[in-house]
Amino acid sequence: MHKTIITHLTDDTDAYDPAVSLAETEAVGFVRDLIRIRSVNTGDPATIGDGEAQAAYYITGKLAEVGLSATVIEPVPGRANVICRLKGRAPELPGLLLHAHLDVVPAQEEEWSVPPFAGEIRDGMLYGRGAVDMKNMAGIMLALARSLVRDGFKPERDILFMWFADEEHGSVYGSQWLTEQESHLFEGVSEAISEVGGFSVTLPNGKRAYPLATAEKGVARMKLTARGTASHGAVINDDNAITRLAAAVLRLGTHRFAVQRTPHIEALISGLESLLDTRFDMEHIDEQLEALGSFAPVIRSSLRNTINPTMLNAGYRRNVIPSSAEAILDGRILPGAKEAFVREVEEIVGPGIDVEWTFGWTIEAPVEGPLMDLMRAAIEKEDPNGTVVPYLLPGGSDNKLLSKIGIAGYGFVPMQVPAGFDVWGLFHAVDERVPVAALHFGVRVLTGLLRNC
């Protein structure tokens, strides 16, 4: 590995460290530069701007510096995607895709202790919108591609790097567009690596688990509409739509669905039991998981179907009881659970309320196999006290869109973080930040992975 300073960084926080490789140093600089590009995805075409395109052309410029060509695709002006393929020695082998998204959610700047788009480093932490979600991976990928080319490395199989637009608002102009309109770009690719997973969780005994997402829940959103009799607000009304709706929302919002032992949860529980030298009682697992700190809510959400009320709409005057009331709820379902979930929800809702459903899809990748073995080995090489454990992501990522064209997706952005550092809690959060050392770690792990895959 190169052990030389990168000259385009000038801040005192980028001072030369002979123990840090050029790729590690570059990764931090690239993540900072990308944070400084305001690629905010508001979901409103009138306010989004061209931040994603600015980030895309920044990336292609850095790739060109080492002789790498890349393709930029803008489904609409300003919404840009970048594609760069490193040809392997054996093109007949299935290719591997690394991907990240270039857009970020908005930031309420007055709530932050540092400017969210300044890319400041304080006390070893790089702050900024996108530091975790997910300009960290975008910058690491850029540094990896440059490093592999500089070193003259020729991978055995094709390695494809993609930077997507629009993940934060449905992926319409990103992975959805490319998989539907430009599917030839993915030719020969069988597996993909992206968010959310790979960061360390320090267990009570000091060992570190690295949860790696091998599956994702599906979306099951619903609109409830209760109907009743409109009347004056001063009159007793036993057919009040708001009352009926509120009771149903309360029942759903406080309902705890049963634990379901999917293969991915089985693998996670088995891994944790081995690391902790304990056994989990599935009837009391919620209480047992409390010892895992910030990781506990993630596991609890992965064990079962969930539903949360998110929006309410009713009435037009304070002295009029309306004839209808609506609620929006966000449900997330485990693989294979759709029909049973619908039956259970509709039983809880009860009569007199209409339910309209909107479904997404679940995805599953193998919990065992050559790529899983390589990811485990890459972590263990850099952290002998660390162990990869599969888990089921309660949310979703661009891997869902890739699954529609047959690509198995994994959540693996490797970062070793300090004990108690809540990575999950920083997604879309105020003062989003990542340890600089964690970015260095990610470069080392993914370098080892790519050199052996």
Task: Give the start-to-end residue ranges of the domains of the chain.
Answer: 12-213+363-450, 218-358
Model confidence at 13: pLDDT above 50:
no
In 3D space, the residue among 338, 166, 124, 319 whose CA is nearest the CA of residue 230 turns out to be 319
Model confidence at 60: pLDDT above 90:
yes
| Residue given tokens 């309109």 in the structure block | 181
Q: Average model confidence (pLDDT) for the chain?
A: 92
Give pTM, 2 decimals: 0.90
Model confidence at 352: pLDDT above 80:
yes
Residues 127-135 have a mean pLDDT of 97
Model confidence at 254: pLDDT above 50:
yes
7-21, 86-100, 279-293, 376-390 — which is least confidently predicted?
A: 7-21
Model confidence at 253: pLDDT above 70:
yes
Q: H/E element holding 376?
A: helix 370-382
109-113, 120-124, 129-133, 297-301 — which is least confidently predicted?
A: 297-301
Positive or negative: CA dihedral 396, 397, 403, 407: negative
Judge whether 12-213+363-450 and 218-358 match in fold.
no
Model confidence at 361: pLDDT above 50:
yes
Model confidence at 4: pLDDT above 70:
no
Banded pLDDT at 97 (limits 50, 70, 90):
very high
12-213+363-450 to CATH, choices 3.40.630.10, 3.40.50.880, 3.90.230.10, 3.30.70.660 = 3.40.630.10
Residues 44-61 have a mean pLDDT of 95
| Residue given tokens 């980028």 in the structure block | 14
Banded pLDDT at 282 (limits 50, 70, 90):
confident
d(CA 423, CA 408) in angstroms, rounded, equals: 24
Banded pLDDT at 38 (limits 50, 70, 90):
very high
The amino acid at 332: R
User: What pLDDT shows up at residue 1?
Assistant: 34
Domain 218-358 has CATH 3.30.70.360: yes
Model confidence at 17: pLDDT above 80:
no
**Pair 386, 379: CB distance under 8 Å:** yes
Banded pLDDT at 395 (limits 50, 70, 90):
confident
Higher pLDDT, 15 or 154: 154
Model confidence at 10: pLDDT above 80:
no
Banded pLDDT at 11 (limits 50, 70, 90):
very low
Strands 386-393, 320-321: pairing kind: unpaired
Bridge partners (DSSP) of residue 392 are: 215
User: What pLDDT shows up at residue 5?
Assistant: 29
The total of other beta-carbon atoms located within 10 Å of residue 15's CB is 8
Local structure of 47: helix, strand or coil: helix
d(CA 258, CA 129) in angstroms, rounded, equals: 36
Banded pLDDT at 281 (limits 50, 70, 90):
confident
Q: Locate 94 and state its tokens.
A: 């299935």
Model confidence at 277: pLDDT above 80:
yes
User: What pLDDT shows up at residue 116?
Assistant: 97
**Pair 180, 383: CB distance under 8 Å:** no
Model confidence at 19: pLDDT above 90:
no
User: What pLDDT shows up at residue 18?
Assistant: 63
